Amino acid sequence: MSASLRKTFLYGVVGFLIFACQTQKTEVMVSSPEVDLIQRIIPDRADKFEVEILPSDSADWFELESKGDKIVLRGNNGVSVASALYYYLKEYANCQITWNGTNLNLPDELPTVPTKVHKDSPYEYRYYLNYCTFNYTMSWWDWERWEKEIDWMALHGINMPLAITGEEYIWDEVYRSYGFTDEDLDPFFSGPAYFGWFWMGNLDGWGGPLPKSWKESHRDLQKKIVQRERELGMKTVLPAFTGHVPASFKKYFPDADLKQTNWGNDFADTYILDANDPLFAEIGKKFLEVQQEIYGTDHLYSADTFNENEPPSDDPEYLSELSRKVFEGMKSVDPEAVWVMQGWLFYSHREFWKAPQIKGLLGAVPDDRMIILDLAAEIEPVWKRTEAFYGKEWIWCMLHNFGGNISLFGRIENVAEHPAEALNDPNSGQLKGIGLTMEAIEQTPVLYELMTDNTWRDTPIDLQQWLKQYISNRYGDKNSDMEKAWDILVQTVYNGQVIRDGAESIIVSRPTFEGYRRWARTKLNYAAEDLLPAWDLFVQAIPEFGTSDGFQYDLVDLSRQVLANYALPVQQQMAMAYKNNDKQKFQQYSAEFLELIDDLDRLLATRKDFMLGPWISDARSWGTTPEEKVLYEQNARDLITLWGGADNRLHEYSNRQWSGLLSDFYKPRWEQFFTEVNVDWKNFDQAAFDEEIKQWEWSWVTSQKDFPIQPTGSSIEVAKELHQKYRDRIAPLTETLPTINYNY
């Protein structure tokens, strides 16, 4: 019997014997990865489901039907079966599972499926993750958190996840095989919060040195991750060599052809081994061999040769030769290798990557051995100006979130309509999949539910009808007022016009009289007061939906957004008071601004989703010594504030509106600003203050402190209180907001 037939037979038996009734009322489950997933998701009702796996070479599919008192979940692999389960939970049981609010209030008697449901996916690939996600969100994840995420991935149809945890262990093994020592490698490996940019060759060493205990623990973690993903039928995307080597490389290979490059002058130069150097193929081969031995392979390899760094030459022949060498390195170890490339460079550095350069880079690799991620297709579909990547297979991706910033934002209509439109466009070439490539997760659940609902359909989503069901699944029932509220959200925060990504609050800005700063971009794509009616409707719905987890999250998030927006007119009133030499008004609005921060902090403390404490605590938990705990806490603090050193231009890029961060970082920073302005009234020196506050910020980054890890207070009561306190203040003051020159 072939392996395929044996698996078909085995899972067929599992499907019929999944729950065998044993002696004295004991039910024993016949275990499988799919059955185990069901037990994790709905442990009290898992015995009501049967699983049937019928492997096939066709596109992924699933079925569900009622058979006696059981619901049969049938599919060609674990992801398909998990998708069938989630389809049932949403369509028949009025449930929902998101990072930020879950409704699994199943009825006592599970609804039957009247007629068999069959779904096919038109997308061979459903890609997930971005290098940045592994740091802006996942830096400190343990296996328990990863297990939940892999379940979420399967439920939402993901079958092609990026899997780069533990890569640092592989590189450590490779370089030590050449004789490299701790002295050589400590300046090379970054700290855990910066791996995304270390892996992409943007920086070396920052946030390190990286302890041996981390490398070993995350080797073991990666083994669990890829094993579980593969058990469920996912194909993992592992990294490949792109030329990034330690600065100490010259010590061992003095004749190596190295090129220095620099990522924006905020970090030391990094070194790239030229693809024509014979060592390039040798080291690339060794890396893949070691990686395959430890983590296995699914023949998909991620390699991004010039992430936010321009190549040394724009000669198409040079670019073609480089990509040929990268691919040959993959193929030398794995004849079935397929190169998966992020298409971000064609968006971020479009002035360099014109048609000849893109054709040169892509043309050296066979069309069926390269997959391009159109990384931000909902913002700007690069496929439309590259003839669908000149024949390569490609994936339509939603980027959405930058830096882990917490802001209500999204191009919701694009996400509902554009994947299917591209799928059915005769000019879309080899469109093979859809993907989620956000820089961070655990926010804006509506966008991710919507995007993944494209997986099992080939027509655009009717957003208005979809939202009605989303509301019902999330809050537990239909409600016309909630439908009106969400219509307002679609027209305001989710309209996706004018700005690239979500606006920030002036609160998270390094203090200033101006209405914005580089990464604290306050320009909205709607009039702030237009959001108020949605806030009113949510508060009015508290008696009906106040016990719903998803409703509580949405109420806090919407209240946060309204108040975060309101900070700008308060700050600008303070700025005008200073300009008009009105010290009394300045002090009035300064006090109101600080009070607003306190109120926001108290609101956000009611939900773990919006708390600093878990981020810091999770970072410290990986430390095996006091020194390691301090290092990891510094990494965690630095990434979300200064990002790098005190003078780093990326400060505030990864800002978070979190309880604890508001009270311990943003508020004290503004207090110092107000104090300095009062002391130097009419002679305040912004540049001098900036230099001074940088040192205070760095002191905060390098300090240690415990923050609460459990929420306090009632989301409902605090939201009601703040609505009553601020609702009538906001519109009058917002209408006085002066015109701000947003030159970004």
What Cα–Cα distance (Å) separates residue 319 from each residue in 313, 338, 462? 8, 19, 43
| Structural contact between residues 592 and 570, judged by C-beta atoms closer than 8 angstroms | yes
pTM, two decimals, is 0.94
**CA pair distance 609, 695, nearest whole angstrom:** 30
**Side-chain half-sphere of 244: how many Cα atoms within 13 Å?**
28
Q: In the predicted model, what is the mean pLDDT of the chain? A: 94
pLDDT (mean) for 426-452: 98
Please tell me the predicted confidence (pLDDT) of residue 602. 98
Angle at 320 between CA 318 and CA 325, to 5 degrees: 95
CB atoms within 10 A of CB 112: 14
Please tell me the predicted confidence (pLDDT) of residue 307. 72
Q: What is the pLDDT of residues 453-470, one digit of tens each?
A: 999 999 999 999 999 999
pLDDT (mean) for 27-46: 87
CATH of domain 3-119: 3.30.379.10
> Per-residue confidence at 736, pLDDT binned at 50, 70, 90?
confident
Burial class of residue 195, CB neighbours in 10 A (0-12, 13-18, 19+): buried
Q: Quote the tokens at residue 319.
A: 């670019």
> Per-residue confidence at 743, pLDDT binned at 50, 70, 90?
low
Please tell me the predicted confidence (pLDDT) of residue 23. 31
Angle at 342 between CA 460 and CA 316, to 5 degrees: 120
Spell out the CATH class of 162-365.
alpha beta
| Structural contact between residues 490 and 412, judged by C-beta atoms closer than 8 angstroms | yes
pLDDT (mean) for 323-345: 95
Please tell me the predicted confidence (pLDDT) of residue 1. 43
**CA pair distance 223, 98, nearest whole angstrom:** 25
Of 208-222, 294-308, 387-401, minimum mean pLDDT range:
294-308
Q: Quote the tokens at residue 12.
A: 């067929």
Residues contacting 106, CB < 8 A, separation 6+: 42, 45, 93, 95
The length of the chain, given as a count of residues: 744
* Residue-by-residue DSSP string for 405-427: -------HHHHHHHHHHHHT-TT
What Cα–Cα distance (Å) separates residue 203 from each residue in 262, 438, 455, 713? 8, 21, 36, 42
Q: Quote the tokens at residue 438.
A: 């956000």
**CA pair distance 557, 418, nearest whole angstrom:** 27
Q: Quote the tokens at residue 704.
A: 């240690």
Chain centroid to CA 99: 11
pLDDT at 16 over 50: no
Q: Where in the chain is the domain with CATH 3.30.379.10?
A: 3-119
**Side-chain half-sphere of 441: how many Cα atoms within 13 Å?**
20
How much helix, strand and coil, in percent to the nearest 5, is found in the chain?
50, 10, 40
Question: Which of helix, strand or coil describes residue 549?
Answer: helix
Residues contacting 231, CB < 8 A, separation 6+: 33, 78
**CA pair distance 352, 356, nearest whole angstrom:** 10
| Structural contact between residues 599 and 722, judged by C-beta atoms closer than 8 angstroms | yes
pLDDT at 10 over 60: no
**CA pair distance 187, 516, nearest whole angstrom:** 36
What's the CATH superfamily of 482-734? Answer: N-acetyl-b-d-glucoasminidase (1.20.120.670)
Helix axes 412-423, 463-475, angle to 10 degrees: 120
Q: Where in the chain is the domain with CATH 3.20.20.80?
A: 162-365
| Structural contact between residues 611 and 660, judged by C-beta atoms closer than 8 angstroms | yes
Of 138, 107, 111, the residue nearest 221 (C-alpha): 138
Question: Which of helix, strand or coil describes residue 613?
Answer: helix
Question: Which of helix, strand or coil describes residue 389?
Answer: helix
Residues contacting 282, CB < 8 A, separation 6+: none
Residues contacting 735, CB < 8 A, separation 6+: 529
Question: Which of helix, strand or coil describes residue 580?
Answer: coil
Of 386, 372, 384, 449, the residue nearest 418 (C-alpha): 384
pLDDT at 14 over 70: no
Q: What is the pLDDT of residues 358-395, one digit of tens each?
A: 999 999 999 999 999 999 999 999 999 999 999 999 99
> Per-residue confidence at 18, pLDDT binned at 50, 70, 90?
very low
State the SS3 of 131-186: CCHHHHCCCCCCHHHHHHHHHHHHHCCCCEEECCCCHHHHHHHHHHHCCCCHHHHC
| Structural contact between residues 75 and 63, judged by C-beta atoms closer than 8 angstroms | yes
Q: Where in the chain is the domain with CATH 1.20.120.670?
A: 482-734
Chain centroid to CA 27: 40
Percent above pLDDT 90 for the chain: 88
Q: Quote the tokens at residue 598.
A: 């306190």
pLDDT at 5 over 90: no
Rg (CA), the chain: 27
Q: What is the pLDDT of residues 629-660, one digit of tens each?
A: 999 999 999 999 999 999 999 999 999 999 99
> Per-residue confidence at 308, pLDDT binned at 50, 70, 90?
confident
| Structural contact between residues 161 and 229, judged by C-beta atoms closer than 8 angstroms | yes
Angle at 319 between CA 313 and CA 324, to 5 degrees: 150
What Cα–Cα distance (Å) separates residue 290 from each residue in 180, 245, 323, 329, 341? 16, 17, 22, 14, 22
Residue 405, amino acid: N
Please tell me the predicted confidence (pLDDT) of residue 637. 98
Phi first, then psi: what are they for 125, rounded to 5°? -115, 135
**CA pair distance 610, 556, nearest whole angstrom:** 9
CB atoms within 10 A of CB 58: 7
What Cα–Cα distance (Å) separates residue 284 from each residue in 171, 274, 616? 10, 12, 36
